[in-house]
Every structure is written in C-alpha cells, then in structure tokens.
Structure 1
C-alpha cells in the first residue's frame, strides 16, 4: 500500500486511539501527524504489519504524552474536561446504532482515573475490541499482564457508564426539555430532570468564567443554573448536536460556539446525573458550526 492510501486508511483509527488516550483533538492530531512523518522515513521492507506497527507507535507515544499532560493539569485552572467530539452529521439518534466507535463523553471523563498504561489497555480492548495478544505485542507486555491491567482498570471504573451511547434515544428528550426549561425560566421542569446527587462540571481553563469546583447535589446545581441562565449561559442561540455519540447542545455567541453541553444519564431513573459544560475557547476551536 502506498503512503497516501495508507494515510487515508489508517488515520481515522490512529486519531481515535490518540483522542481516547489524550482527551484532546489538537494533541491527537499533532501526534498522528508526527507518527506518519516518522513512519514515512522507515524502510517498509522491515515492517510486516503496517497497521499493527502504526497502532503501536501511536499508543506508546500517547502513553508518554499523557504522562506529561497529567503534570500540566496539576496547574490547570479549575476543572479539566476532555475536548468534546461534536458531530453535526448525525442528528437522528437512530443513526447512532451503527456508530460503534463512539465513546461517551461521560466515560471519557472517567478514563482520567486510569494510569496511562491502564487507559491504553482499556481503550484497545473495550473500545476497539483488540485481542490480548495484539495488546501485548503493542505494549510489549505479556498477555497475562494485559489481562490483569484490564481487570484493574475495570475495577477502578466500577459501575460507570458503558462505552457505547446506548441511552442516546433516552437522552434526546431530556436534552430538549432541559433547553426548553432554561429558555422559559421554568426551573420546576429542570428540577424534575435532575437526580438528587446531580453534579455540574464546567471547564473554563482560566480563559473564561466558570465554576472552579464541581457543583454537587440537585439543590446546588439548581441554584447555580438559576444564577447564570438569566444572564449569559444561553448566549444568543443554541443548536442540538451529537456529543461523543449522544445528544447534546452547542450554545452560540456571535455566530461561534461559546460552550458545549453534554450529559451523563442515570439509566435506572432516566434522569440527568451529570452535566458537563465546556467553556474553554481553546477546546472549542475544532467545533465547526455550518
């Protein structure tokens, strides 16, 4: 396979691995470009499986980069959230059942609990369905070790949400009702949407105003929303979009994305238990609104 065909064939896969590992579109894009640039200088005759070789390069570089990124986040202003994966093409939740590569935003947040190696094993196994022998070869570890690492990662995540956004159809009416309640100021509707232990996390990165700490409990979340919604929370318009495979909201300001809002649902009660608000403009640069 010539280089251009190889680039077109493997770039989406490599970018998805890097994004799941790093939680950053820009860092994932730079890393993948560097991998392809270095790969192009290698002797192809020495490489038996180009796909496996590329995956190995991206995974190991992502591990190294994520370890240094954790140190940078220690001085990050406020709460750190991953960059959202915004899709305008799929507006019908029914279309999402064929998008098995989607990783929910809530799970992407939870993956921050894992070490870099645990995250790599989890992503390759759970998200991309790699066999343990493939993961072992990629990370230069034994299969038994990879199984233990995966088990440890699953234990850390415990009862958190599944990888696939299976509750998308349930999410859409809640998202619509959330926006209707916010627009009308009828906060009684919002109360009915939230679980008692609801949490709101906002990421301004020190660039724009945002809550420094997570807001915990339905009462505190409601008090926060009642304070910000009448002012600038809703910008000057909004549109619905698919955020990491699940229904979410883009808030607009002066024709540009001002924030992206996504939700984690309580599957049992079909209510919102976490609200994620991305406000950091640096993390919204990749969000294109047509």
Structure 2
C-alpha cells in the first residue's frame, strides 16, 4: 500500500473546504467567485505557518469571510448596474443526495433566502450568516470582523429584522415542498390556467433574472392570474416543445425548463406548505453554465 504523503495541513484544509465554500457562496451567490475566494484562502494557508495557530478553522473562516466581504463590496457597483433583478447562480443537482448531504446543502441556502440577503450590506451579511447560519458566538464574529460585540449584535439584529420582514420564516417539510412542486409541474405541463392558479398564493411574486443577456422581467411580477398566464402562454407559444425536469435547486425541490430540448431556465419556488408564494427564475446563461444544457434522458 502506498503511503499517504499529503501534508497534514492539506488534509485540514480539505476537511474544512465545504464549510469555507458554504460561507463564500452565501456571501457572493456565484459559484466561481466563491471557489476563487476558497482558492485564495488555500494559497495563504499553504504559504503560512500553521503550527502557531490556535484554531485552523477560525483562521480560515476569518480569511474567507474577509476576502468575500472585499469581493462583495467590489461587486456591488456591478450589481447596481445589472439589467433587471439579480438572483444567485443556482446550485443544481438532478439526482437526490443522501439525507445528510441534503440537510447540509439546504441549511439557509435557498434562492428565496439569498434573494433577501442581497438587501444587506457586506459586513451586515457576513455577521448575520456567521451568527445565524454557521452558529458562531458573537465574540467570534466580533473578532473576525474587527468590531465590538455590541456592534455585531446590532448588525445581526437589523439583518434578522430585514430578513424576517421580507421573508417570514416558515417551516415547510421537504415532502410537502416536493408534493406541491409536483402538482405545479403537472399543472404547468397541462397548460390549464385554472389548475396553475389553484396552487398559487394571492401574494405570490415572480422574480426573473435574464441579466440583459436574454429577455426577462424588469419588474417583479405579481398576481395569480398573470403568473398562471405566463406558464400557460409558454405552451401556447411553443406547442409540443416545452419540457419540465424536476431538480434540486440550492438544496430544495425546484425545476429546469427546456424549450425545444434546450435549457431555458432554472427555477426555484418558495412555499408556505399549501400554496406557492414565490417563484425565482434564473435565465441569465452565464449563471446556467453548470446546468445540463440539453434535456436529460
């Protein structure tokens, strides 16, 4: 048997990499940017002196968070000039993962949740994620951000209020989410507006992201009838060419839509358990590069 010559520092980093990517992706919403941040952290880790560190995890989380804050600040101007609404690049899986992996992915990763995070300032977003999602103590958050505990508590409190106001927290089981999605896809395939409307909440919103690369909505779409008409209209416009494929989108049941066998969008839904309250449709091709471009068998 060949001896493992990988240095212990590389094993340590590999073990922490999923957590580091999770922080970077939730901060930035773009897979490549998150991977760049993690790679930069690795280079600093590999060149540094690890033996003097009290906690490898604390050091790496600090580096990744600060790099992500800097990158998000730089990206803010670009996102303000973005054509239409900005949604995160979806993380799409066509096959079900193990329950353990699914739970790790789904923890506050949904497109709906990240859509709300875009309203937060970079440091506020970091403080909120580290405390509420990754369960760091306020003393750790304060040391990481170079601020007082009181300031961090205030940032997290403000962020929590903003998130709760824009997306009230509702515990919806995965089976209920999947069941409602299946009914919605069946209705969308049928082209019957009434069947689609029956599954939509009165306060539903539809957010589209085309990034100026493809046609999409420049305003948030509201209204049960209008949104149902959009899905019915696709079948009318492309008879026999529209296909839906269920997928896991950011850890939750979602779907891909294909037109004439080619990927048109990746869509995530938000639900209260009985009706769909939000639909988030990513159409920008730059954000769909990691998704199967042709209809899978």
| TM norm structure 1 | 0.89
Rounded Cα–Cα distance in structure 1 between residues aligned with 2:100 and 2:139: 34
Does the aligned pair in 2 maintain the 1:165–1:246 contact within 8 Å?
A: no
Aligned position for 1:148? 154
Deviations 1:2-55 (A, max 9, x none): 232123111111110000001111110111111211222222234332211110
Q: 1:254 to 1:13 in 2, by over 3 A?
A: farther
Where 1:158 maps in the other structure, the secondary structure is helix
Deviations 1:135-172 (A, max 9, x none): 1111111222211111111111224244x974322211
Q: 1:170 to 1:198 in 2, by over 3 A?
A: same
Question: How far off its partner does 1:86 sit?
Answer: 1.8
Say which of 285, 292, 295 aligns to 1:281: 285
Structure 1: 5+ residue stretches without partners: none
Aligned pairs for 1:1-290 (under 5 A) are 2-90=8-96, 96=102, 101-159=107-165, 160-162=167-169, 166-232=172-238, 236-252=242-258, 257-267=263-273, 270-287=274-291
Rounded Cα–Cα distance in structure 1 between residues aligned with 2:262 and 2:17: 28
Question: How far off its partner does 1:81 sit?
Answer: 0.6
Rounded Cα–Cα distance in structure 2 between residues aligned with 1:225 and 1:10: 42
Does the aligned pair in 1 maintain the 2:267–2:281 contact within 8 Å?
A: yes
Q: 1:14 to 1:98 in 2, by over 3 A?
A: closer
Question: How far off its partner does 1:68 sit?
Answer: 1.6
Structure 2: 5+ residue stretches without partners: 1-6
Where 1:248 maps in the other structure, the secondary structure is strand
Q: How many residues align structurally?
A: 287
Question: How far off its partner does 1:256 sit?
Answer: 5.7
Does the aligned pair in 1 maintain the 2:248–2:254 contact within 8 Å?
A: yes
Q: Which range moved further: 275-284 or 40-49?
A: 40-49
Q: What is the aligned-residue RMSD (CA, Å)?
A: 2.6
Question: How far off its partner does 1:64 sit?
Answer: 1.2
Deviations 1:158-195 (A, max 9, x none): 24244x97432221122111111111111111010111
Rounded Cα–Cα distance in structure 1 between residues aligned with 2:269 and 2:240: 16
Q: 1:168 to 1:74 in 2, by over 3 A?
A: same
Does the aligned pair in 2 maintain the 1:102–1:244 contact within 8 Å?
A: no
Does the aligned pair in 2 maintain the 1:175–1:247 contact within 8 Å?
A: yes
Q: 1:149 to 1:192 in 2, by over 3 A?
A: same
Deviations 1:215-253 (A, max 9, x none): 112232233333334335996533211212221102235
Does the aligned pair in 2 maintain the 1:31–1:58 contact within 8 Å?
A: yes
Does the aligned pair in 2 maintain the 1:122–1:153 contact within 8 Å?
A: yes
| TM norm structure 2 | 0.87
Rounded Cα–Cα distance in structure 1 between residues aligned with 2:151 and 2:240: 48
